[in-house]
Structure 1
């Protein structure tokens, strides 16, 4: 799926979502997978690396200028093997950030709160950094948790300064304006195939022999080494989006090392769905969420003037696409840039007012808001390229993908008839995996037996587009003693510590007291955003700093 480089108004890290492999077995035309995964050498290597990390610990100090974080954060590094089968071989350093537990009860300044240990967070990806997460301690929704826990973020392998991976010159991300046809021609498809192959060659050229070690399983192993380096006997972890997937791998590989674990907006861990089929499912879910956005805009037609029905709003959007195809806004924003900006409405409904306002202004003759929201941001190009590179490497290495273009073409041509909004852009994002050098892994079968894993908490919005709700149900089935909390009739991606007090109440109760709700707990949806009239300034989002 396509989900790299989302920008939100509060924070500064990527929160990407996922893609994935057809249900019912290996995809037609796929490269041969390795035999069913066994972890003996890597498990021994992880234990050795964890012992070394526990002895070394992490020396936290001032963060470097390159890390570009506020002074309240402290930074350090943890050393992990590039290849866990050879723990004495090449080592890489992962950057880590921390804000210590405040110990202050936010409701009673005289009361001291006992420290519970470290809470490690991953915001998703692959390719997202959690270095800014500890700043969540400044937000009201996180103050109780930040009082009891050291909040710990980190940049996974390949991300940021953690053995960074690159596949192309970041300046290429700024090229544009560009097209984004909903019904691509055969010549356009050939162009994108050529681009995908060239991108893979760039990844191989830059990554070399290390490229194959960027995997979800290694991300899970790195997490255990980080646990040991922090001096924690048991891991307390919260993962969002892709973070739920390698968090689930961790729970399967190291169940005895788990203390408390939160899965927020869960990826479907079904092995046969990693990653191609998940991608198809995601495109369907984005279409549903795109309809939700248009319906909201239609309800506020008096503000935006884009149409009184969802169909009317779609016609306004398609009118803008056609105009941008003929004459890009500011010479920068074409149909692809428009689609990229409006894709974010599928992730977070706090984007709805500003995107509707920009579309309305553009169609009334003022392109400035649209150029501002959809135009290129040179200052973010290097981070975005790095995130794309890690995303591609991890997902391509994780599983077998169809290697025959006709399979992609057949599946997505059919899907685009019912889900045109995101389908083809999802294809172009993930198509490098069709030409990725092998061998590929067979995805681990995420599963724990009753009593093997401490009780865990799963949070999910019923209309989440990036990680469809069925993924939360599947993860709940596979992790014994897990409890699922559902935000009904809502679609924000990543709901813990956000706008829903009911969800946050369950999160606090679990992390602070170990209390879980009854099975099947349901929270009413958070309030819809209020419309933003032309000339109004967008209000700051309440999302925590792990999300950008």
Structure 2
């Protein structure tokens, strides 16, 4: 626990910084602004008592855990408070070189980063972990916090096999509408009146309270995917509290995009990435025998889908499970060789690899144990609460029927994932206009892969336009979702230089740099290589999921 003298000093600094409403916060209710101030001052005084991590976190003894308590409702900071589990490994280098805490969020919404301190073991993080305490945490509502969101009885979670039609019938649509209504009502019933307080603005406020509890006068933060969105909200609300920020695989922050339009854009981008995968498989036809062109590979895939619809593999893997497994190949090419192998062997009469990779498992979806549907529940609550959504299915049907003609791979699954938001009864937030003026925010670093499907590249460009003085590093002709700490040494060089020195590439007004793509997967070595993994919602080889096993089957959308 840090000294109370330091916390007292930090409390006065917080008071000074929030006495005037921060730039860009005109839409924030005054009561919540004052509530954030109150909560941060209290957290600075209380600090975090780090000790052994809960057994459910399954973390080694080198990682220490504690709890930070935040208001459920920032308009009532003296009311109900919820505990967020925080994990930490202290900086390994000399005390004189310590630069504070580096806080990480991997996205979702619905993902915990309590595993994040384990990156200290990875070579790409050696110098960073020498200078920084590595800090992860379970955001509000996520398993591992004291108030996890729940939307359905775990026993009701579909375990497969399930269909995944690319041209759904009217009967199928009506069935999914009924499911969406039931799920939305389940969120309200099982989570209760507090459901309205799970949204991105509160996630940003929680980050401010966590900063104060850690004893940091300013925040050094790294967010991936969805973590970039509420990180950008933080930068807009509390720019004077920012020390350094890294945004990896950014969400498009325009309020008009949140979240319905962003999901339409995501479905279109996944079609391109799906074609990238099939083109790569065709290049290695001698290994897989699935076709010498992308179209031939697609026909092989459709043959597998049709056979699984008629006879699920192992009684568990139907078209829905196949699609969920293949979706991960759109997130990261580390999955390309295993997925191509599974398709190839299935068509040769061996379904075992496909069953191993695609069969649903009734186990917790995230670090910390608990409800296996928690990640989906938090995802739904945050995205539905964040912004208005079309409330007439006819709008969804019109937009996505058109889109599916161009992008059939993910379009309808994305609809079914997000459709509960059409029937959401909880009051919705007005999206904040992410934006900072000249000299308000220190330079921040944005990292993006040019062919990222989950968060299309235009989002990175838009975020740079909105955060004055920010720098954008692009991995060209690559599509892994989350590239920090991954296989690209050029990207990692920019990341390390920024975190250790604050330096960003380029000069204002255009601060940009590009990196050549990391090598394409090798169809043999990747298949045989055993990778160290721990739970996360992101399947990339960057820190967003270098330790991650991928998204939970059946949950996609804008999740990071």
TM-score (norm 1): 0.90
> Aligned-pair RMSD on alpha carbons?
1.5
Task: Answer yes or no: is the 8 Å Cα contact 2:484–2:542 preserved in 1.
Answer: no
- 1:284 is aligned to 268
Match of 2:129 in 1: 146
Q: 2:288 matched to 1:304?
A: yes
The corresponding residue for 2:452 is 464
Q: 2:35 aligns with which of 29, 45, 55?
A: 45
Q: Secondary structure of the residue that 1:50 maps to in structure 2?
A: helix
Quick one: which of 101, 107, 123 aligns to 1:124? 107
Deviations 1:447-480 (A, max 9, x none): 0000000110000000000000000000000000
Q: Give distance in 1, aligned partners of 2:215 and 2:201.
A: 22
- Alpha carbons 2:443, 2:469 under 8 Å: kept: yes
Helix, strand or coil for the counterpart of 1:380? coil
Q: Which residue of 1 aligns with 2:156?
A: 172
Task: Report what 1:68 is aligned to.
Answer: 58
> Any stretches of 5+ residues in structure 2 without a counterpart?
1-24, 533-540, 550-560
Q: Is the 8 A contact 1:82 1:91 kept in 2?
A: yes
2:528 to 519, 522, 537: 537
Aligned equivalents of 2:193, 2:525: Cα separation in 1: 53
SS at structure 1 position matched to 2:97: coil
Aligned with residue 525 of structure 1, among 506, 509, 517: 517
1:240 matches 2:228: no
Superposed displacement of residue 205, structure 1: 0.8
Does the 8 A contact of 2:195 with 2:426 survive in 1? no
Could you tell me whether the CA contact under 8 Å between 2:362 and 2:372 is conserved in 1?
no
Aligned counterparts of 2:449 and 2:280: Cα–Cα separation in 1: 18
Q: Corresponding residue for 1:401?
A: 389
- In the TM superposition, what whole-angstrom CA distance separates every residue of 1:20-42 from its partner, at most 9, and x where no partner exists? xxxxxxxxxxxxxxx98333211
Match of 2:298 in 1: 314
Q: 2:290·2:297 contact (CA, 8 Å) conserved in 1?
A: yes
Alpha-carbon distance in 2 for matches of 1:298, 1:221: 48
Runs of 5+ consecutive residues of structure 1 not aligned to the other structure = 1-34, 105-111
How far apart in 2 are the matches of 1:285 and 1:236?
A: 31
Q: For residues 463 and 99 of structure 2, what CA distance do their matches in structure 1 show?
A: 27
Tell me if 1:425 matches 2:413.
yes
Match of 2:22 in 1: none
Match of 2:116 in 1: 133
What is the DSSP-based 3-state SS (H/G/I as helix, E as strand, rest coil) of the residue aligned with 2:472? strand
Q: Deviations over 1:36-85 (max 9, x none)?
A: 83332111110110000000000000011122212211000001000001
Is the contact between residue 304 and residue 533 of structure 1 (CA under 8 Å) also seen in structure 2?
no
Count how many residue pairs are aligned between Structure 1 and Structure 2: 506
Offset, 1:308: 0.2
Once the two structures are superposed, residues 374-396 of structure 1 have per-residue CA deviations (whole angstroms, 9 ceiling, x without a partner) of: 00112235554000000000000
Distance 1:421 1:202, change over 3 A: same
Shift of 1:256: 0.4
The answer on whether the counterparts of 2:449 and 2:478 sit within 8 Å (CA) in structure 1 is: yes
The higher-RCO structure (CA 8 Å, 6+ apart) is 1
Q: Secondary structure at the match of 1:378?
A: coil
What residue number does 1:54 align with?
A: 44
The CA distance in 2 between the partners of 1:146 and 1:259, in whole Å, is 17
